[in-house]
Structure 1
């Protein structure tokens, strides 16, 4: 069975931390339960792979608490992590700075490299009709922590750009089914993203399905007006105008 590109196989001597979709931790190939407070600490360290001070971690993960209580919460989370695995997950436990141990693999890192490579045209191995696992889900979408928002948006945008780039690649090569799959996946991930909708329309037009292209454009225009009070861009309107035989007004 083929493996997803840029996916590092699980080694028997490492820990793997999954942050896309949901939180899971495997150590030496075995799933490990991690309490919620310790999960948040692991995620924080995964997003700050170079490490950070104990004070910064405590302040960010236990906001609004007095410094002493936040520090106690951090010590408790570290203790809980040490009890969950024979392998040390956090390096330099006695140091003033905390970082993940080097043997911890993080799916987000490989997925980001993969998505950026696709979006920038730096990869030659364009994926086929099945969406690769690295492009299917966002960073912990069910979590509501403010400190996670920027990292989530960073990967979300990389994922969307990659999906659109793969769609354009397949469309240029005449593989319209694959192109539509990737374009629609981008639309589903971000329903108000015009570039994704424009790619869906372009695929329909390339297939000669003018009615479907115009229907998709009109559906997006109504939704954009209803939810944001905005018209589609001039570029999108110009794309469909020749098939209507008239300019498309900005309404």
Structure 2
């Protein structure tokens, strides 16, 4: 038995102090953003489809009950059949890679030898939302900011219900993080970086008023009133064209209240 990874608290994975440490010295990397990949000691593994789906599910959800895993991965069969499919997949996983999954009595989780790219994204987003100050280590802060701007899609080409749910959850996390970064950079007078972060949020969701709002705030803070008005009018026209509605009065006041344009 292997020890479970502390993967990240955000993904709901705890430790298993009663489990044994892995003994082979292997390390594993699971990529979930911009496509799935499972690597052992830096070398890609040709894993069967069921194994890839299992590793992806546990990589996203962390420690999870067997019943939840089987129900999500094999939703169209009976519970008994789904549990049998899970056992078969675990056997196939052991033929592919020996140590990435901790098998408990009722749960499965990632081992301590597994790194998941999604963990770094979640950690960066949490730091952005917790308003981590720039401090002396601006390099770390810039890393967080850039990691939010350039994020790949979660498991592109996968359309399982659980993937669609997690993809939207992570998209919302990214949007909120970008908005928080833009507002903080604006307050610090870093106008170019603030506009970049706000534009990234608008590109991700053009009809999201809160994203447009932080972009307008960034433009106004730099005294670029024309840019702010242009941004508002583009949003107004697109919103009316696609949804038949107009921006809120709050956004209108933010844009025009002081200038009277």
Superposed pair shares fold, TM > 0.5: yes
Q: 140-149 or 178-187: which moved more? A: 140-149
Match of 1:77 among 54, 70, 89: 89
1:92-126 residue CA offsets vs partner (Å, 9 max, x unmatched): 28x45332223212222232122111122135343
The answer to whether structure 1 residue 187 and structure 2 residue 165 are counterparts is no
1:100-159 residue CA offsets vs partner (Å, 9 max, x unmatched): 223212222232122111122135343179722685234324321112333333322221
**2:183 matched residue in structure 1:** 168
Question: Matches of 2:182 and 2:143 in 1, distance apart?
Answer: 10
8 Å CA contact 2:148, 2:174 repeated in 1: no
The answer to whether structure 1 residue 88 and structure 2 residue 99 are counterparts is yes
Shift of 1:218: 0.9
8 Å CA contact 1:167, 1:183 repeated in 2: yes
How big is the alpha-carbon RMSD for the aligned residues of Structure 1 and Structure 2?
A: 2.7
The answer to whether structure 1 residue 21 and structure 2 residue 31 are counterparts is no
List gaps (5 residues or longer) in structure 1: 1-5, 7-11, 247-251
Match of 2:226 among 199, 211, 216: 211
SS at match of 2:92: helix
**1:68 to 1:117, Cα distance in 2 relative to 1, 3 A:** same
Shift of 1:79: 2.9
Match of 1:149 among 164, 171, 196: 164
Q: 18-27 or 76-85: which moved more? A: 76-85
8 Å CA contact 2:148, 2:177 repeated in 1: no
**1:18 to 1:128, Cα distance in 2 relative to 1, 3 A:** closer
Shift of 1:183: 0.8
Shift of 1:46: 2.0
The answer to whether structure 1 residue 47 and structure 2 residue 64 are counterparts is no
8 Å CA contact 2:128, 2:144 repeated in 1: no
The count of aligned residue pairs is: 233
The answer to whether structure 1 residue 201 and structure 2 residue 216 are counterparts is yes
- Normalised to the residue count of structure 1, the TM-score between the two structures is 0.80
Q: 44-53 or 129-138: which moved more? A: 129-138
1:162-191 residue CA offsets vs partner (Å, 9 max, x unmatched): 212222222223222211111111111122
8 Å CA contact 1:38, 1:80 repeated in 2: yes
The answer to whether structure 1 residue 103 and structure 2 residue 123 are counterparts is no
Question: Matches of 2:61 and 2:192 in 1, distance apart?
Answer: 39
SS at match of 1:126: helix
**1:114 to 1:243, Cα distance in 2 relative to 1, 3 A:** same
**1:61 matched residue in structure 2:** 73
8 Å CA contact 1:22, 1:140 repeated in 2: yes
Q: 129-138 or 226-235: which moved more? A: 129-138
**1:9 matched residue in structure 2:** none
8 Å CA contact 1:18, 1:25 repeated in 2: yes
